[in-house]
Each structure stands twice: as structure tokens, then as C-alpha cells.
Copies of this chain bind each other. A is one copy, B any other.
Amino acid sequence: MTTQQLIEQIKKKQSFLCVGLDVDLNKIPAHFLELEDPIFEFNKAIIDATHDLAVAYKPNTAFFEAYGIKGWISLQKTINYINDNHPEIFTIADAKRGDIGNTSSMYAKAFFEDLSFDSVTVAPYMGKDSVEPFLAFEGKHTIMLALTSNEGAFDFQTLNVDGEELYKRVLETSKSWKNSQNLMYVVGATKAEYFTEIRKIVPNSFLLVPGVGAQGGSLSEVCKYGMNENVGLLINSSRGIIYASKEADFAEKARAEALKMQQEMAAILQS
């Protein structure tokens, strides 16, 4: 999917909502556990209930891998279900991968070719040759960690490197990499004041923003400082939507939460 197609979808749906699919079998309605593939069936129900309100889905690979081969089958079925039924949706493999060049090429093959995701999240620690193999795929997007929403973000990401914070250096350096136009960045919503600084470095890039809702970030604050003329934001919500209820009404409640976010987004887009 091209960036332009993503922007068009945002304008059409009046939404820049990404729904995170982090399925923990302990947190879904009990009746799913009797089905052959509870993870896929739960994801399918969430997708059916929210696909007109969201522009992106983000399966979190850890929550599939934890269930071994069965989990990987659920991941395959989930991405296929989205691609087959809602090809306009932008798909994100939240995998946080990154390794030396020939290994990163294999990860890129796994997520872009074998599973047909539009994008994958990667970690920056190993530098240029660990990320460029992902960037080489045309029509695919690589979403690199910049400033995350967890407490540990302050351990290394905000360290002072020659007068600026490490995450800023990561953003700046990545702009010089080959095919850097295929980069997006993860920026946590819990630190809305940082968006002004980040937009000085990457004014045009899309930012994937976790941390709104469950983790306490404010949608309006993030938009105020982080939005650009092409919107440039994908706001992720996982637990706030998919675990809105553990009862039979879970899908309705998930839709209600997604609708609330979409309506806030529409109001921001129209203001």
C-alpha cells in the first residue's frame, strides 16, 4: 500500500485509528476457548465490528508466538482475513525485529512476502544495515522505534548524546538511509510535548502512536503537536478496544470504544 492510499483512506473514513490485536486467551470471553482457533475467531469478531472505523490493524506477534505453531497459524489466518475482506486496511506486524543484514532480509521476507503485511515495526539499536533490508521492499513500510511509551524509554532513548537526546539522533540518522521514504516511526503518546521537537526532524513522516487510552496519553494533545498536513498519525489502541468487555457484548463494546475514538478524530480533522 502506498502512503497516498493510506492518506485517502484516512480522509474517507475520517479516522486515523489503528486497532492493536494483542490477544491474551485469559482476557477474551470464555466461549471462544471452546473453538478450534480462539485467537483467530476473536480477531475476526473484532475486525468485523470495527473495520469501518479503523484504518489499520496491528497484530502483536508476541501474542501469537506465545502459543507456538497454533499461534503462528492464527496470525496467518488473521492477516489473510484482513487482506481478503478489507484490502483498503493498512496492516502492521508489530514485531520489533532487527538484526544483521542477511537476517533482517529474512524477517522482511517473513512479514512482507510470506504474511503480506503492509508494514513491520523494527528496533534501531543495530543501525543502518539492520534496517535497510526492510526499506528495500517497494510499497512496504518500516516503522522504527524512536520514543516509546513505556517507563524504560527513559533508560536509553532520552540519554544525552552530544547535546541532544538519543531518539532525536536516531530519527536524524535514519533519514540518510537508503529508501528512507519508506520509514515511519513509533512515538509514544504519553509524552505529547515531545511531538513538537520530533516534527522538526521528521515533518512529513507518519508516526505510529501507542499509549493513548490505557496508557494515559491524550488524543487531542498528540494531534495538537503531532499532526501534519497529511494527518501523519496512526493512533493505536489495543486493550481499550479489544477488552472493552469480557462478556457476550464484547464486540459491541469494542465497536462503541472504536466509534468514540473515530468521532473524536473526525472532529479534529474537521476543525
- Hey, which bits of chain A sit against chain B, CB under 8 A? 22, 24, 60, 62-63, 65-69, 71-73, 76, 94, 96-104, 106-107, 109-110, 114-115, 123-131, 145, 148-157, 159-162, 166, 169-170, 173
Contact = CB atoms under 8 A, between A and B. Distances in A.
A127 B152 contact: yes
A143 to B, nearest CB: 13
Contacts of A152: 126-131
B115 A156 contact: no
Contact of A96 (B97, B114, B129): B97
B166 A153 contact: no
Contact of A153 (B101, B126, B131): B126
Contacts of A130: 150, 152
Contacts of A98: 96, 123
B100 A126 contact: no
B125 A124 contact: yes
A127 B156 contact: yes
5 contacts: A22-B103, A24-B106, A68-B110, A96-B99, A160-B161
A122 to B, nearest CB: 10
A110 B156 contact: no
Contacts of A60: 99, 103, 106
B114 A67 contact: yes
A110 B63 CA distance: 9
Closest 8 CB pairs of A and B: A127-B152, A127-B155, A62-B106, A65-B110, A66-B106, A68-B114, A128-B152, A129-B152
A80 to B, nearest CB: 11
Contact of A127 (B73, B76, B106, B157): B157
A125 B123 CA distance: 7
B159 A166 contact: yes
